Each structure stands twice: as C-alpha cells, then as structure tokens.
Amino acid sequence: MARPPTLAARRLGRELNRLRNEAGLSIDEAAARTGLSTSKISRSENALVRVASDDARTMCEAYGADTATVERLAALARASRKRGWWVPYKVDDHLAAFLELEDEAVSESAWTIDIVTGLLQTEDYAHALVRAGNPHMSAEDVKARVELRMRRQERRLNDIMLWAVIGEPALMYPVGGAAVMRHQLEHLLDAAERPNVVVQILPFSAGATVAMGSPFHLFDLGQRGPVTAHVDYHTGSVYVEDKDEVEQYNRTFQHLTASALSAADSRQRIVRAVEEMR
C-alpha cells in the first residue's frame, strides 16, 4: 500500500499551485511552458506524486518565482521524498504528521493540561502513559511506542527551542506510581536547566483560562515553512496552517505563558510536587 503524502509534499503542492495561479497560467499553459505533462503538474499540486527537485525548480522558474523561492521549493521537494525515520514504527497518519513537524521545527511551543509533554518524559513515565492510553495494545507495541518517544528526544531535545506550559494537574497524578512520578518530576527539573528549554506551570489559582481542555503544539519551521499548529483530541489530531487560525493559537499560547508561573516559581512548584510525591 502506498504511503500517504508527507506534510512537506502537501506544502509543496500548495505552493506550486499558488505560484501557477499567481502567474495566471492554466495547467495546459503551464505544461506548454515547462515541458512537463499536465498530469505531472496536476498530480504534483495535489501531492499525488513525488516531485523531483529539478521538476520543482522548472515549475518555479516557469512561474516567475524569485531565486529564494525557487531554492526553497527545490529543497522542499527533496525533503518531501525522504523516508521519515519513524516509518519502521508503523505509526498512524496523525502521529506521522506530528513527528514530521517536530523533526523540521526550529522551535516548539507545547501546552499540555494533565501530562508532561513528550520531549520531557522519562521512559518509565512514557511507558505508563502509553499503557494507560492504549489498554488493548500488545506489550511489544507499547515497547515500540515508548522507544519511538525516546528516539524523538535523542533527535531533538538538544537543539530544538522548547517552551512547555504544563497544567498543575500533571504534577499531581502519580502516573506509574509514586516512584515513577517522582523521578519524572526530578527529570523535569533537570530539563528546565537546559538553555533551550523553558518550563512553566499553569497553576490552579489561574482559574478559567483559554485552551482549557484543548492541548496543542505550535511548530515554527523557520525557513522551511509556516508556523503550524498541531491540536490533539482523544482519537487523533489535526494540524493547522491557515495563517489567521495559527495566529489565534499563537495568541492563546502567549496568554498561557502570561497566566502561568514564572520559570523560577514553576521550579519551586515542581520541587514541592517532588516532596508531595514521597
């Protein structure tokens, strides 16, 4: 069975479609100008075929794109053809989209309500979460999912700029038991010392806030693409690229950071949670 198109392929398709329309060209006219078939142009725009970087370059130049855009989309075409490192783990499309975004991002802003965000989880804590959330999953599949989460950390935790706002309930649920949770909290304290990590706790005392019941992540892709929101729900997730919608999520995250404890006060709250977990 063919793999679904990557997010990079879909972004490339939308960009090529936008450039062609801005150039005022029909698909037939674009084919005549590029020397590519109408089928290839249509399938490229709809992410139904892997686009070679040379073909992407040809289309961009035919549509009058500037040099920076040509090079950006040629690089995006190369990225769209790459096999994600997560493919052997047989993840579903929702998780694959999340992993692709995280792998490309220069920064990640995470709002989680009652769990520690994935990049900051210990292996035992992650195991307990995966098992609880998937009670019918085999032991082998649970192990693979936890291994996947640890691979994420190995790949990104050292270089991505991570800003995590975590709801106070996440400090209080004894996920995996008191010993596992205590170790998780201590790990969170250690992670917060990293120069590329900010951890803030949103306390109960903040009262009603935006995004209650709606965890999400914001991924800044830098030169690779637009800021993208990834929103979780019980049976899956959606990613959002619409500029206005993403801006709403960005404002929501700013509101959360303003309502949360400072990094220093958050640290003290986590320290207290460690003591309370004994």
Express each pLDDT in 213-252 by its tens digit. 899 999 998 877 789 999 988 777 888 888 999 999 999 9
Express each pLDDT in 40-87 by its tens digit. 999 999 888 889 999 999 999 999 999 999 998 998 898 887 888 898
pLDDT of 168 reads: 98
Cut 0.95: pTM above it: no
In terms of residue numbers, what domain contains 213? 87-276
Nearest one of 142, 5, 14, 153 to 84, comparing CA atoms = 5
Q: Are residues 24 and 132 in the same domain?
A: no
H or E element at residue 110? strand 107-112
Nearest one of 69, 16, 72 to 41, comparing CA atoms = 16
pLDDT(3) > 60: no
Find out whether 175 and 129 touch, Cβ atoms under 8 Å.
yes
Express each pLDDT in 197-216 by its tens digit. 999 999 999 999 888 889 99
Q: Which of 52, 80, 108 is the last residue of a domain?
A: 80
Q: Are residues 60 and 135 in the same domain?
A: no
pLDDT of 1 reads: 36
Q: How many domains are contained in the chain?
A: 2
Q: Are residues 246 and 120 in the same domain?
A: yes
Q: Has residue 2 been placed in a domain?
A: no
User: 223-261 burial, b for 16+ CB within 10 Å, e for fewer?
Assistant: ebbebbbbbbeeeebebbeeeeebeebeebbeebbebbb
Q: Are residues 72 and 125 in the same domain?
A: no
Compute φ and ψ for 211, nearest 5 degrees. Answer: 70, 20
Q: Are residues 113 and 229 in the same domain?
A: yes
Express each pLDDT in 154-191 by its tens digit. 999 999 999 999 999 999 999 999 999 999 999 999 99
**Token representation of residue 76:** 């995006």
